[in-house]
Amino acid sequence: MTTFLLELKERWSRLYDRHEKKILFIFKFAFSLIALFLLTNEIGFLTVLKNPLVIIPSAAVCAFTPGFVTVIVLSVFVFMHLFSVSLQLAMVVMAVMLVMYLLFFRFCPKAIYILLLVIFCFCLRIEYVLPVCLALMLSFNYIFAVDFGIVLFYIFHTIGAYEAVLTRQTSVDKVGVISYLAESILNNRAMIAVLIGFSVTFLLVNIVRRLPISYARAYSIIAGVISQLILLIVMDIWLGAGLHLPAVIAGTIVSTGIAFIFNVMFFGADFTRQEHLQFEDDEYYYYVKAVPKRNVTVSDVKVTHINAKSLKDRGTTEFTPVDWPDDDNADK
């Protein structure tokens, strides 16, 4: 299994090196397209923006442009959807997104893809695979992208749940609806439980995987899975969050398998061949532990197809014999 994963990694690396621009374009297009469709599914108040003839060209624009353009396009979609219902509601949500941008995404623009990935997984109900897998690949500061993604999902989900109140009851005070939605979001116990569980798990995995010990990443996966499971169950019981515990357990088990696959493919190290080196210069002694990476060589097998008909034709070709002189005549 390990050899297969390493060979798969090597083949993917070669493919990516040969077709980097095409792969990035396809990835950005698919990512933006899914984001827009999921967004319209959650808060699709404006019918015009739900049209695929509007969504697909917008995703194409995101694919051809830098990452911050994706943020602008998604923000415009959010604002227009909410503006069709309530200007005050649109301004509140945009203020939250602006605060997120000024606090974090202005300094780390690529983190917007992590935020969108978090929202995707929540929309697809596979959110429990996120903390351990993301913490294996990302540093501490990306915890803000994860937390912002959780908050935005629950904001959009709450707004979508109260669509009937916002659209059909025209006599309802808009400010009263906003205060009611704000109170609902702040008192959302499921969001609080998930925020605490995911944040602690993310930080724990980051801490353990950086320890100067062998198999630190494997230990971090085990520690993260256990902490996530315990925290979510305890927070669900304590807060009465109403989490679906079978989904929590199933998602945690799936995240364990995905995390170990990621660990083998992208961070595989052969600790059985580690070496301890010691040397010195005029001022310092150096103690170094060298751990080789797990690599495999993928052989390129080239198969030459020989046409039987061409061989038959080649075998019937007539050659004109050449009379060579005998050795005795040549001497004479």
Mean pLDDT estimate for the chain: 78
Higher pLDDT, 107 or 170: 107
Other Cβ atoms within 10 Å of 263 Cβ, number: 21
Specify the pLDDT at position 255: 85
Specify the pLDDT at position 268: 65
Find the range with the poorest average confidence among 76-85, 122-131, 263-272. Answer: 263-272
Specify the pLDDT at position 121: 87
Q: Can you tell me the distance from the alpha carbon of 116 to that of 212, in angstroms, rounded to the nearest whole number?
A: 33
Which residues, in sequence order, are bridge partners of residue 285? Answer: 280
Specify the pLDDT at position 225: 92
Specify the pLDDT at position 319: 47
**Nearest alpha-carbon partner for 232 in 217, 210, 214, 250:** 250
Is residue 185's pLDDT more than 80?
Answer: no
Question: Angle at which helices 67-83 and 111-123 pack, to 10 degrees?
Answer: 50
Of the pLDDT bands very low, low, confident and very high (cuts 50, 70, 90), residue 4 is: low
Is residue 152's pLDDT more than 60?
Answer: yes
Q: How much is the pTM? A: 0.75
- Which residues, other chains included, contact 264 with Cβ-Cβ below 8 Å and sequence gap of 6+? 2, 5, 6, 294
Q: Name the range with the highest mean pLDDT among 37-51, 200-214, 282-296.
A: 200-214
With tokens 């995707």, the residue in question is 120
What integer is the mean pLDDT of 314-326?
Answer: 51
Of the pLDDT bands very low, low, confident and very high (cuts 50, 70, 90), residue 201 is: very high
Specify the pLDDT at position 332: 45
**Nearest alpha-carbon partner for 216 in 225, 205, 229:** 205
What integer is the mean pLDDT of 246-250?
Answer: 88
What integer is the mean pLDDT of 161-178?
Answer: 57
Specify the pLDDT at position 156: 82
Specify the pLDDT at position 226: 93
What integer is the mean pLDDT of 143-153?
Answer: 89
Indicate the domain borders of the chain.
2-269
Specify the pLDDT at position 163: 61
Of the pLDDT bands very low, low, confident and very high (cuts 50, 70, 90), residue 325 is: low
| The two structure tokens encoding residue 205 | 């995995």
Find the range with the poorest average confidence among 12-16, 36-40, 81-85, 252-256. Answer: 12-16
Find the range with the poorest average confidence among 104-118, 211-225, 227-241. Answer: 104-118
